[in-house]
Structure 1
């Protein structure tokens, strides 16, 4: 997500199509209810913050557990109106298969669940940072970034939203590392099944935006082998970070690329320390870039935007020595963490804003072309004038229609030639 786009994700438009008198009454009543609920949620959210340090602090060493096994769970008092939610910490696996703890939130509607259990929408959030404190579940409103939350609840879906490894619970960052991100998404679905009151079934759909698009696509590629007891129905992404080589090459010349790289470099150094000698991954940095990276990597995109710009803006054009996409070992690592190495056998939805300056339309076009060449069933939608921050919201109307199609067992129409 571009730092300047961060405010866009709060922008939504609604219309009232009623007569003046009826509309006035409904708006007044609805405004009163939603206003009171917003106050309640804020108060409860502030109270939740007081208990967060104890909840997220785990014993060391952590007792071993199978992927998806719950370590700790608590109900969230500030759940949206008409829903019940939990904060959960569960076992997952890192790039090397090592047991790690990961945090997430689970939300279900206060509606009767079907006999087979609720279908799950597994959400992959866009970039919020790479440090533990930047986890969405740690926010006063831990549901704020889940694009489509209210629509999914209204349709009876359960929502599972992982923080990704290293966020929420202290640990090594998995920023833009496809395998551990994917594992954390799939294991969050497993963890939700272990919450009796959630009443989730074994069917799920993946939905992700930007970084979350990469996580969702990798999860789709890995689902059948990593979590064979689950049934993946489809994967939907908006402005996905699918091709990291194109993403880094396109953006390293601006503040977005500097920010993304500052999050990725420490994560890649830790993940690949067994493959590359100390300093080889970070050697791409200029002296100024090397000095600035630790401080930038500790900043959160949404809450510390001003601080990020103060450090990153002067580094534009002078953060790295060369284009990472054509410089080893980055050339190899970016390819390894780009989606598309395995064909997808479930329906795919892709939404892309044509005014996106972070995930460029061409990068998504290239990924869709790859999917089509692999025989995937792809519904590709382009949105003129839509920037990166609004890509998921712009996609929602058509994504929801696609979702109802795949969850009803029908095959959506494909835009592949």
Structure 2
């Protein structure tokens, strides 16, 4: 059997997961090598139990990388990468083991240099065979996948990390996953010792972003978002707007990585595949897109938000609005903007984000922070 041009790896074949299996339970793991890191780090590919946004049991996959000799005081940092695709072989836990360098390994390396154990989720319905397409933009799905990987990583038998504190870091769609995890953690994983979250270029309001990106260089992301949300909200049959002619395009896109999606659907309009020119204004889609806006719950941990003032993909105003909402809600939030674009901010903001997370880890929950200088 094969998936695309790659043979099916039995490790990633979806195991059966029932309601009796706790979220975050480690279902299987194996050692892995990351040849491009250039250092003797330890790594493990994981399949673990999680929950969908509707709380149905589902397996998920990811990868955990640790320093050669992590100490008992090591923290677990979950790094949430930007959108990598809807299908095919683009899951971090699989691609990181290739000989070719991967751009997200730069962030992983930066976190490893802090002495942390780094866990990277593949994303719900990505990585594990037969579950796709990836539920791109579905916030609760992403949050559960992130929080359950943090729980699973701490139980790897080869690590002494059972009581390790955790932080979460992400950018773009990964930043969205990070803030959804921050908002979901008090209810979904209250026992997890989460200390802080850093999130850059957060897609806080997908409904406000879709019309901006339609028929432009990023229009493939709009189609990918509709496909991902249609999968996550399949119980609402929100694919009612897709035309019969859209079937082939959707099936094709569902097996592509991010680069292929952007190349294949550049400058397209949703009207090409939908029965109306503004599908985002359909009442069912308005419900979904409204449900996918961040800021509905108060994070219990500090959240550091950052954004590029010249971001042409995700407007900086979206991040500023989320920061303002968090402050009004009484959440502990900080903000930093950079005089650069989307890609530049991912690089420029990394060190500051890691510094903030380091400070969060050094601060004991329940103790007041010293006043800012």
Are the counterparts in 1 of residues 220 and 264 from structure 2 also a CA contact under 8 Å? no
**Where do 5+ consecutive residues of structure 2 fail to align?**
none
Name 1:295's counterpart in structure 2: 252
Shift of 1:239: 0.5
Which of residues 8, 15, 23 in structure 2 aligns to 1:67?
23
Shift of 1:228: 1.9
| Separation in 2, partners of 1:362, 1:413 | 28
Give the one of 161, 182, 192 matched to 1:230.
192
Aligned counterpart in structure 2 of residue 261 of structure 1, from 208, 217, 222? 222
Q: Match of 1:198?
A: 159
- The alpha-carbon deviation at position 87 of structure 1 amounts to 0.5
CA contact (8 A) 1:121 1:158 kept: yes
State the alpha-carbon separation in 2 of the partners of residues 176 and 88 from structure 1: 23
Of residues 358, 364, 370, the one that matches 1:404 is: 358
Which sits farther off after the overlay, 404-413 or 247-256? 404-413
Q: CA 1:244 to 1:374, structure 2 compared with 1: closer, same or farther past 3 Å? A: same
How has the CA–CA distance of structure 1 residues 231 and 143 changed in structure 2, closer, same or farther, with 3 Å as cutoff? farther
Alignment-derived partner of residue 44 in structure 1: none
Contact 2:202 2:318 in 1 (8 A): no
Quote the residue 2:12 is aligned against.
56
Superposed counterparts of 1:176-215, under 5 Å: 176-200=137-161, 201-215=163-177
Contact 2:271 2:278 in 1 (8 A): no
Helix, strand or coil for the counterpart of 2:337? strand
User: Partner residue of 1:243?
Assistant: 205
Q: CA deviation at 1:147?
A: 4.8
Aligned with residue 57 of structure 2, among 99, 103, 127: 99
Deviation for aligned residue 1:220: 0.7
- Which of 260, 270, 275 pairs up with 2:236? 275
* Mapped partners of 1:147, 1:222: distance in 2: 27
Residue 341 in 1 paired to residue 286 in 2? no
Q: Secondary structure at the match of 1:281?
A: helix
Aligned to 1:351: 306
The size of the alignment, in residue pairs, is 355
Q: Alpha carbons of 1:112 and 1:272: their partners in 2 closer, same or farther (altered >3 Å)?
A: closer
- Structure 2 vs 1, CA of residues 317 and 267 (structure 1 numbering), >3 Å: closer, same or farther? closer
In structure 1, runs of 5+ residues without a counterpart are 1-48
Matched, 1:119 2:75: yes
Query: Which stretch shifts more, 73-82 or 61-70?
Result: 61-70
Deviations 1:363-382 (A, max 9, x none): 11221121121122222111
Q: Does the residue aligned with 2:220 lie in a helix, a strand or coil?
A: helix
- Tell me, yes or no, if the aligned pair for 1:265 and 1:282 is still in contact at 8 Å: no
Q: Which residue of 339, 345, 349 corresponds with 1:391?
A: 345
Q: Within 2, Cα distance between the matches of 1:255 and 1:206?
A: 30
Q: 2: distance between equivalents of 1:329 and 1:263?
A: 18
Aligned to 2:43: 85
1:84 is displaced (CA, Å) by 0.7
Q: CA deviation at 1:85?
A: 0.7
Shift of 1:146: 4.3
Q: Secondary structure at the match of 1:123?
A: strand
Which residue in 2 is equivalent to 1:155? 114
Q: Distance in 2 between matches of 1:360 and 1:135?
A: 27
Distance 2:322 2:370 in 1: 19
**Post-superposition shift, 1:240?**
1.1
What TM-score do you get using the length of structure 2 for normalisation? 0.86
1:253 offset after TM fit, Å?
3.5
2:124 counterpart of 1:165: yes
> Matched residues in 1 for 2:14 and 2:328: separation?
46
Would the aligned equivalents of 2:270 and 2:279 in 1 still touch at CA under 8 Å? Answer: no
Which structure shows the higher helix fraction?
Answer: 1
TM norm structure 1 = 0.77
